């Protein structure tokens, strides 16, 4: 690993152990444990990032405890509010609490659109668009959900130009949430694309992408 790469990883809180685990296994509990070990005295924003890691590997109880440890108020800075509320919605959607997720989304929609629409946060906006489309489609708001699907497609053109899989998975999930039977054709088409895509750079990426698609239709 070059010195510049080492410095960038250190600044991002990524240790060499974490880097090695990620290259071999991708996002997994072992990686999350290493991430937590590298942040022994996490500040509030670090705890939100740890919660995000825990949610990604379905360790929801631990994630909720981590989120509960961060108090959000009107005086909190934008990163705490934006990331904190987003992670709470994400957690609630994954644990069957759509009403609570929808309530938080509605209370913070204007803030979310500004926060994730800023150039500084554009790269992570795709995850917000995905969650926004999900929660709105669960509540039956097809127009609102499709507006966010349009946002994630635009995002994918910039960040996933070769293989816009994230926008495809979001669309399949939204169609299924809305009871639109076209989700089955979209699912089959996307599954075929994942199988035949030749641009994976790490051995775990194909399986991980398949798992994301399967989670979307459960």
pLDDT over 60 at 2, yes or no: no
Residue 142 buriedness (CB in 10 A; 0-12 / 13-18 / 19+): middle
Which of 11-15, 84-88, 212-216 has the lowest average pLDDT?
11-15
For the segment 176-205, the average pLDDT, to the nearest whole number, is 96
What are the pLDDT digits (tens) for 71-101? 998 889 999 999 999 999 999 999 999 999 9
Does residue 6 register a pLDDT over 80?
no
Please determine, for residue 214, whether its predicted confidence score (pLDDT) is greater than 60: yes
Confidence of residue 7 (pLDDT cuts 50, 70, 90): very low
**How far separated are the first and last CA of the chain, in Å rounded?**
40
From the list 26, 7, 28, the residue with the least C-alpha distance to 16 is 7
pLDDT the model gives residue 14: 74
- Is the pLDDT confidence value at 11 over 50? no
Q: What's the confidence (pLDDT) of residue 194?
A: 96
Nearest in space to 108 (alpha carbons), one of 87, 124, 134, 85: 85
Q: What percent of the chain stands above pLDDT 90?
A: 87
Check: CB of residue 172 under 8 Å from CB of residue 187.
Answer: yes
The mean pLDDT value of the chain amounts to 92
Q: Map tokens 């990032």 to a residue.
A: 49
pTM for the whole structure: 0.90
Query: What confidence score (pLDDT) does residue 1 get?
Result: 39
43, 74 in Cβ contact below 8 A? no
What is the arithmetic mean of pLDDT over 202-206? Answer: 94
**In whole angstroms, what is the distance from residue 183 CA to residue 195 CA?**
18
Kindly indicate the confidence band of residue 169, based on its pLDDT and cuts at 50, 70 and 90. Answer: very high
pLDDT higher than 50, residue 158: yes
Range 186-205 average pLDDT: 95
pLDDT digits (tens, 9 = 90+) for 125-149: 999 999 999 999 999 999 999 999 9
The pair of structure tokens assigned to 63 is: 């994630």
For residues 183 and 143, the answer to whether their CB atoms sit within 8 Å is no
As a whole number of angstroms, the distance between CA 76 and CA 82 comes to 10
pLDDT above 60 for 184: yes
State the maximum Cα–Cα separation within the chain, in Å, rounded to a whole number.
Answer: 52
The per-residue pLDDT for 13 is: 62
Which residues fall within 8 angstroms of residue 125, CB to CB, at 6 or more apart? Answer: 116, 117, 151, 155
Mean pLDDT to the nearest integer, 174-181: 97
Nearest to 168 by CA among 184, 182, 149, 145: 149
Angle between helices 165-177 and 205-216 in degrees, nearest 10: 20
Between CA 20 and CA 38 the distance in angstroms is 14
């Amino acid at each position: 690993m070059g010195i510049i790469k080492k410095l960038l990883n250190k600044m991002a809180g990524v240790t060499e152990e974490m880097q090695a685990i990620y290259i071999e296994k991708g996002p997994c509990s072992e990686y999350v444990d290493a991430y937590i070990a590298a942040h022994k005295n996490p500040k509030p924003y670090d705890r939100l990032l740890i919660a995000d890691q825990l949610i990604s590997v379905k360790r929801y109880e631990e994630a909720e405890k981590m989120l509960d440890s961060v108090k959000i108020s009107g005086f909190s800075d934008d990163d705490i509010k934006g990331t904190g509320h987003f992670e709470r919605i994400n957690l609630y959607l994954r644990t069957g609490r759509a009403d609570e997720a929808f309530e938080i989304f509605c209370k913070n929609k204007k803030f979310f659109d500004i926060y994730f629409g800023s150039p500084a946060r554009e790269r992570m906006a795709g995850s917000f668009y995905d969650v926004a489309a999900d929660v709105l489609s669960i509540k039956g708001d097809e127009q609102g959900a499709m507006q966010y699907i349009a946002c994630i497609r635009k995002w994918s053109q910039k960040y996933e130009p070769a293989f816009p899989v994230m926008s495809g998975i979001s669309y399949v999930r939204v169609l299924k949430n809305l009871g639109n039977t076209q989700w089955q054709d979209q699912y089959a088409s996307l599954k075929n694309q994942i199988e035949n895509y030749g641009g994976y750079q790490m051995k775990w990426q194909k399986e991980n992408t398949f798992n994301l698609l399967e989670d979307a239709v459960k």
